[in-house]
Amino acid sequence: MSELDNFTPELTADGSFTFFSQEFGESFHSHYGARQESFLKFVEPTQLALKANQPKLRILDICYGLGYNTAAALETIWSVNPDCDVEVIGLELNASVPQAAIAHHLFDTWKYKYTTILTQLAYEQQVQTNHLRSELLIGDARTTIRQVYHSGFRADAIFLDPFSPPQCPHLWTIEFIQQLALCLHKDGLLATYSCAAAVRTALLTAGLEIGSTPPVGRRTPGTVAAHPRGVGDREMGRRGEVFQQFPPSPTLLLSPSSYPLSQSEQEHLLTRAAIPYRDPELKDLPDFILRRRQQEQQASSLEPTSRWRKRWY
C-alpha cells in the first residue's frame, strides 16, 4: 500500500478539495473553501497582485502541504505580470502530501494552468523555468528554515500555514517565528490564518507589527505582519507594534499607525492566552512545548482568558 493511499480528498464548500491529516487530527483547510483560503488568507494580505509589477518576487511557503498557497500566488502574480520572475521556497515535512494532491488531480477543479510546475515540484522538489525558480525542502521546518536564512533568501511574502497551535506548537513558537522574521524582506509581508494571542505575541516579540485580516468562512480573522516602516536590515527584530484590520482596498498598503487592533484584540494580548509557545533550541517535542506553556500560564498573574471572553463575547 502506497503512502499516497493515506490521503482521501474531502470536498469543501467552494468546490475544491482538501485532505484530512490522521497525524494531526485536522483537515489541511477549512470546510468553507480550501481554494478561497489560499487567495483570501495568504495571497491578498501579502499584496502580491500589487507587487506583481516588480521584476522579481520571492515567496516563502511554510508548510507547503497540497501546494494551494503557492498555486494561488503564481496564478495571481502571472495574471498581472506574466514576465515577473518568481522564486519560491516551500518547507514541507512530508513529501507525500503534495504528491497526493497531484495524484488525486485536485487542481482539476481549479482549471489551473500551472499544474505541470506543481507536479514537478512535488515529485522532484525543484523547478527551473524562464520565470520561476522553486525548491521544496523536505524535513522539519525548524531545521530547514535555517538553511533558508543562510542562503540569503529574503521573502517578499511569507505564508505561515501549519496545523493549529495546539496540534503543531513547534511551528508557532517565539524562536521559530524569529527565524521567519529574519527571512522576511524589510518591505515584505507575512500572513497566517491564525489570530491566536500566543501567535501574535510571538510575532510582536520577533519585532514585527501585526494587524487583522478579514474573516474568511469563519468568525475569527487572520493575521498579517511586517517589519516596522523605515526600519533597516540591522534594526529588524527590535520590537513589534500593533495595528488593526487589514485595509479592504488592495491599493492601501500596510500602515501600523493607521490601523490599530480593535480594543478586544488588544486586551486579548494581555491575557494568559497571549503567553507564547517556546522552543529555545528549536528541537523540543510538541508535547513538551505544550506542557511548558501550560506551566507558565498556571504561574502567570495575567488576566484569565475566560474573564476576557465573558467581557467581549
- Tell me: pLDDT of 259 over 60: no
User: Which amino acid, one-letter code, is at 110?
Assistant: W
Q: Categorize the per-residue pLDDT at 24 as very low, low, confident or very high, splitting at 50, 70 and 90.
A: low
* pLDDT, tens digit, 9 for 90 and up, residues 272-293: 999 999 999 999 999 999 999 9
Domain boundaries, the chain: 3-312
Confidence of residue 214 (pLDDT cuts 50, 70, 90): confident
Helices 197-205 and 174-183 cross at an angle (nearest 10°) of 50
Residue 252 above 80 pLDDT?
no
Q: Among candidates 182, 157, 200, 167, which has minimal Cα distance to 62?
A: 157
Q: Is the C-alpha dihedral spanning 186, 247, 158, 283 positive or negative?
A: positive
Q: What mean pLDDT is predicted for residues 222-244?
A: 63
Radius of gyration of the chain (CA): 19
SS3 for 246-270 is CCCCCCCCCCCCCCCCCHHHHHHCC
Class at the top of the CATH hierarchy for domain 3-312: alpha beta
**What's the pLDDT score for residue 65?**
94
